[in-house]
Amino acid sequence: MAGQARLPSFESRGECKVTEKEKSQRDGKLLRGALLTMLGGTLWGLNGTVSSILMSRYGVEPLWLACVRELSACWLFLLAARASAPEKLHGLLRDRHSLAGVFAVALGSILFSQVSYLKAIDWTNSATATVLQNLSVLLVMVFVCLSNRRAPHRREVAGVALAFLGTFLIATGGNPAALSLPPQGLFWGMCCAIAATFLSIQPVRLISRWGNFAVNGLAFLMSGVVLMVATQPWAHMPQLDLAGWLMVLFSIVMGTFGAYGLYLQGVKEVGAMRGIMLGTAEPVVATVSSVLLMGISFAPTDLLGFAMIIVMVFLTA
C-alpha cells in the first residue's frame, strides 16, 4: 500500500502516458475494425438481395453471375495486391507449390462457395441462404474441437441445439410433414455452410504467407476461368437494362471486392472471434433488404429460426 501511495517519478509518469496513449490507439483500432467488419457483412447481405433480384426479375443464371463476378473482381484484388504488397504477389507467382495450393483454394473454397451461395439464393431467397450459410460457424467449431481433441464447451453445446432447431424451423415451418423449403434449396443451403467452412480453413496458411489480396485475387481468377470454360457466359447473355447492369456492377465492386476486403481488414484488427460475431450483420441485412426491396414475407417460425441461428453464432464465436 505504501508503494502505491508514492508519487511516480518523471520516468514513471512518462510510461503511464505512453500506456494511456497506446490504450487509446488500441481502442480506436478495435472500433475501426468493428465498423469495417460490420460494413463488410452489411455489403454481403445487400449483395445477396441484389443477386436474388437479378436472378428472379432478369432471369440471370447463377453460374453466369458467379463467373462474371469472379472474373471481374479478381482484377480489383490483384490491383490491390500490386499496390499494397507487390513483393508478395511476385513471390507467389514464382512459387509453384503455393500456386498449386491457390488452385485448390479456387476450386474448394471460391468456386464451391460462390456457386452454392447463388444456387441457394435462386432456390430460396437471400435471407434464407445467408442464414443457412452461417451454420458454417458450427462446422468450424466441430473442426476445432476434433483438431484439438477436446469436448465442446457448454456454450458450444447450446449453439448446436439452437443451430439444428433453427434450421428445422426454417426448413419445415414447424411442421415436419411439410418442408417450407424446396429440397434443392435446403441442399444448396447446406452446401453454402460446408463451402464457407472450407473458405475459413483451407486458405489460412497461404494467406498468412502471401497476403489476402494476392491469394484471393489469383484464386478468384482461377475459379473464374474454370467457370468460363464450363459455362461459356458469352453464349447466354442476359437481357439487362441500365438498372440491371448497375446491379451487376454493385455486385462486383461492392458486394464482392468491397465486402470481402472490408471484412478481412476488420477481422485483422478485431480478431477472428469478434469478427465472426460482428459478421452476423449479414443475415440480418439480407432479411431486412429482402422484405424492403422484394416484398418477401416470412412466417413467425422463419423469423424465430433466423433468430436462433444468429444467437448460435454469438454463443459459439
Q: How many CB atoms lie within 10 A of CB 75?
A: 15
Torsion of CA 161, 162, 168, 174, to 10 degrees: 110
Residue 15 domain flag: no
Q: Which domain holds residue 164?
A: 40-316
Residue 63 domain flag: yes
Query: Cβ neighbours of residue 14 under 8 Å, at least 6 residues apart?
Result: none
The pTM (predicted TM-score) of the whole model is 0.74
CA distances from 182 to 137, 172, 189, 239, 247 (A): 23, 10, 11, 27, 27
> How confident is the chain (317 residues) per 10-residue block, as mean pLDDT?
43 53 72 79 82 91 92 95 93 94 91 89 79 77 81 77 74 63 86 84 82 91 94 90 95 89 71 59 63 70 78 65
- AA letter at 198: F
Give the whole-angstrom CA distance, residue 174 versus residue 154. 26
Q: What is the pLDDT at residue 124?
A: 83
Query: Cβ neighbours of residue 246 under 8 Å, at least 6 residues apart?
Result: none
Residue 23 domain flag: no
Q: How many domains does the chain have?
A: 1
Residue 26 domain flag: no
Give the whole-angstrom CA distance, residue 130 versus residue 120. 9
152 DSSP 8-state letter: P
Residue 269 domain flag: yes
Residue 19 domain flag: no
Residue 7 domain flag: no
Cell of 38: 460490420
Are the C-beta atoms of 94 and 41 separated by less than 8 Å? no
Q: What is the pLDDT at residue 238?
A: 92
Alpha helices by DSSP H, the chain: 2-5, 10-57, 62-84, 86-94, 96-105, 112-123, 126-133, 136-148, 154-172, 183-201, 204-210, 212-231, 242-252, 259-270, 272-278, 281-294, 300-316
Residue (of 28, 50, 272, 261) closest to 140 by Cα position: 272
Question: Crossing angle, helix 242-252 and helix 10-57, to 10 degrees?
Answer: 140
CA distances from 85 to 15, 36, 212, 265 (A): 34, 21, 10, 15
